[in-house]
Amino acid sequence: MITDFFNDKLDRLDSLTNIYERSVLEEYTLHLVRQKHPFLFCFIDIDNFKNINDTYGHKIGDKVLIEFAKILKKCVGDEGVVARYGGDEFIIVFPKEYNYDETWQLCYKILTSPKLSEDADFKSAGITLTLGCSRYPLNSKNVDGIIELADKALYRGKMKGRNCFIIYLPEKHASINLKTERDKVVSSTYLHNIAYQNITNGENLAKGIFSTFEYFVEYFMVDHLCLQDSEKMYCECSHFLCKATPFYPLPYDELKRYFSGNNTTFGKNIISEDDKSSKLLSRLLNDGIYSIFYVQIKYKDKLYGYLRADLNNNDRGRIWQELHKNVLQVIANYIALELNARGIELKDL
């Protein structure tokens, strides 16, 4: 099926990466649909590639794309075909019927394929991938539908924090609306408003905070949200897919050390064995927490405690997106304002 179709396509290669142009695989998927031949379609995105270009320059950015294309081809082998879709986005078509477990194993293999970060030129870049997949004919009976659904899965992976894969499932992902840049601004305002309405419009502040956390653990795919002061945690909320391990209050003095001056946030995309020299990060790792984003709950000079966002369901961590960090900061600010207005502490919730 692969060899016959590509015999006359060997000259249609991307000039930078030397793999097929996107149009070749678009024609291939049309061919498979006409033949009613099952296939798996995958979008693969290099996470935050713009930052790589901005930090290391376009020459290194091009080198990343070239090396990544080689890694993908080696990883896929004879099972599928790889093409550059454009920019930092690639596509793979696997001309075979895959069940969910087989698709999961294949995606995991790609996600954990040899990393580019061993190269001295961009070792510190921390390069990760996000994948979105759909299956023909299970998810759609036409090419446009398959591409759109894989794109939805990719978008969900980015919203989840990147460095992951999402296999399209209609019961989970059918309602996703792909956003334009304008939509992202509207989305940010909408999320701020949800937090504001929940936290400020009720007599029971604890209930309003918990309702906010309930919404955002699902929306941002965060395993655990809570507030913490020097004594304990409050308004704890965990995602339903969160590993069934308990979360514990962190040593308050150790936590405070990571906040100084005007720095009101502290985050770590992935906590690894290399971080064990830090008492706080070592404690988190021992507790099974692999990624964090924490925000001070502070009004003027009054520190009430911290808003904690923890991830314990993925030892590859996550990349905290600007939208996620911004909304969590806004939530912490609303909580601080309400605590000040009511003249109470976290322990009074």
What is the spatial distance between Cα 149 and Cα 117, in angstroms, rounded to a whole number? Answer: 30
CB of 45 closer than 8 Å to CB of 103 = no
pLDDT in tens, 216-234: 988 887 889 999 999 899 9
Q: How much is the CA Rg of the chain, to the nearest whole Å? A: 23
pLDDT band of residue 316 (cuts 50, 70, 90) is low
Q: Are 329 and 262 in contact (CB under 8 A)?
A: no
Q: How confident is the model at residue 213 (pLDDT cuts 50, 70, 90)?
A: very high
What element of type H or E holds 165? Answer: strand 164-167
Two structure tokens written together for 194: 């949800």
pLDDT at position 85 over 80: yes
Q: How many CB atoms lie within 10 A of CB 343?
A: 7
Per-residue pLDDT band for 302 (boundaries 50, 70, 90) equals: very high
> CB-based contacts of 190: which residues, under 8 Å, 6+ apart?
none
Contact 242, 312 (CB under 8 A): yes
**115-129, 152-166, 181-195, 231-245, range with the lowest pLDDT:** 115-129
What are 130's strand-pairing partners?
45, 164
Domains of the chain and CATH, by start = 2-173 (3.30.70.270), 181-348 (3.30.450.40)
The whole-number average pLDDT for the span 196-223 is 90
Most confident of 9-18, 168-177, 297-306: 297-306
pLDDT tens per residue across span 97-129: 999 999 999 999 998 876 655 555 555 556 788
Contact 165, 130 (CB under 8 A): yes
- Give me 18's structure tokens: 């030397």
* Residue 232, both tokens: 């304990």
Q: Is the pLDDT of residue 185 over 60?
A: no
